[in-house]
Structure 1
Amino acid sequence: MKSPSRRASLQAEIASELEPGERLVWTGHPDARAVFRKLLWLIWVGGPVVAIAAWFARDFLVAQFAVLAGLALLLGPGVAALMARRTIYGLTDRRAMILSKSIGHRALSSVDLSAADKRVETLQGEGGGGTVLFVSGLAPRRRYTDYTGKFGFWDVPDAAQVAAVVQNELDRRRG
């Protein structure tokens, strides 16, 4: 769980990104535990890679690289969970924002709600969590966009509630 001071700090940062007259409707964050569990398979792949490659690493250079790749796989879920702890989502009356921070890096992704779909799509995860997608047609390489070009809030702990908040805001905007 995110500490109140860290969450307040991230919320203050996202509030500082608001344009004049823009109103913050909702803030949330990804569930770091869900992110970790989703990537747990990397540990099951990385462990055997490290174990087998380490056996040959003394004699073969390629095995040394395989050990490094395996270690990266082992660390992947933990690093992703740490990054999720430093990410906050914001929905305003004009746009959706995702602010992520890590050591020496700060990224703000923002999408204007005028480009939003008519209906919010929810991809259910475990325990009521999931992903809420609501803007289509973006470049699939864009951050927080899936392979089809849909943008949204990933791995939120209460996906149905977040989807309702986003849908209400989109309906309010359309009048």
Structure 2
Amino acid sequence: MPHDDFAFEPVKGLPEAPPEGEHLIWQGRPDAWALIRDALNIWWVVGYFCALAVWRFLAVVDLMPLDRAIAASVPFLFLGAIVCLLLGLVGWVQARATVYTITNRRVAMRIGAALTVTLNLPYSRIASIDLDQRSNGTGTIAMKPLGGMPLGYLVCWPHVRPWHFSRPEPALRCIPDAGKVAHLLAEAAESQIAQPTVTRRPAATAVAAE
């Protein structure tokens, strides 16, 4: 029988039911191929092993017949194919295990394949939102948290803005229709931040202040 590893979630992508007044705006996950291409840099890996094969061929072509020189280079291509298959598997598993959630109060990220964690980012703790969108519509939305992120770069990778190691920025990586999602996120954040905050003081304190 099929088994759902996340059947314990009261709401998909969230470790507990949203409190009263909070509702979902958008949910999604990374596009698997975009994640493999952009986060795992598969084209760089392909180029690296092709360059190794060419280097090997040029190094031995003057020392042996052409067919043997080609045979000496082919193993690098096979090794590269194996590495690319492994990267593709990792990217597919990461995409399947990830759920990004935008509500009217926060951004929640259920991330991790082997060790699953849920990162909650209230809008009041987000300093800025940056969009990096490709021509095909997929893109990454990075959020700069106020006061730093509670989890490290390696723990959250690849769901972080690339190359920001000292101050990691959680990111919705390689999602389809990134521009539309960024617009929804900006509207929700502006709406939540614009709401006034009421602080209640005990009556005795209020009288004393007068």
Q: Tell me if TM exceeds 0.5.
A: yes
Is contact 1:130–1:158 with CA below 8 Å preserved after alignment? yes
Which residue in the other structure is 2:29 paired with? Answer: 29
Which residue in the other structure is 1:109 paired with? Answer: 119
SS for the counterpart of 1:13 is: coil
Is contact 1:83–1:101 with CA below 8 Å preserved after alignment? yes
More strand by share: 1
Which residue in the other structure is 2:141 paired with? Answer: 132
RMSD over aligned CA atoms reads: 3.6
Is contact 2:14–2:108 with CA below 8 Å preserved after alignment? no
Is contact 1:45–1:73 with CA below 8 Å preserved after alignment? no
Task: Determine whether 1:45 maps to 2:54.
Answer: no
CA distance in 1, matches of 2:111, 2:145: 21
Matched-pair identity in %: 22
Is contact 2:105–2:188 with CA below 8 Å preserved after alignment? no
Is contact 2:109–2:120 with CA below 8 Å preserved after alignment? yes
Amino acid at match of 1:13: K
- Structure with higher Rg: it is 2
Map 1:1-175 onto structure 2 (within 5 A).
12-21=11-20, 22-38=22-38, 39-41=41-43, 42-46=45-49, 71-72=82-83, 75-100=86-111, 102=113, 104-117=114-127, 119-137=128-146, 138-139=148-149, 141=153, 143=156, 144-146=159-161, 147=164, 148-175=167-194
Unmatched segments (≥5 aa) in structure 1: 1-5, 56-66
Q: How many residues align?
A: 157
TM-score (norm 1): 0.69
Unmatched segments (≥5 aa) in structure 2: 57-71, 73-77, 195-210
More helix by share: 1
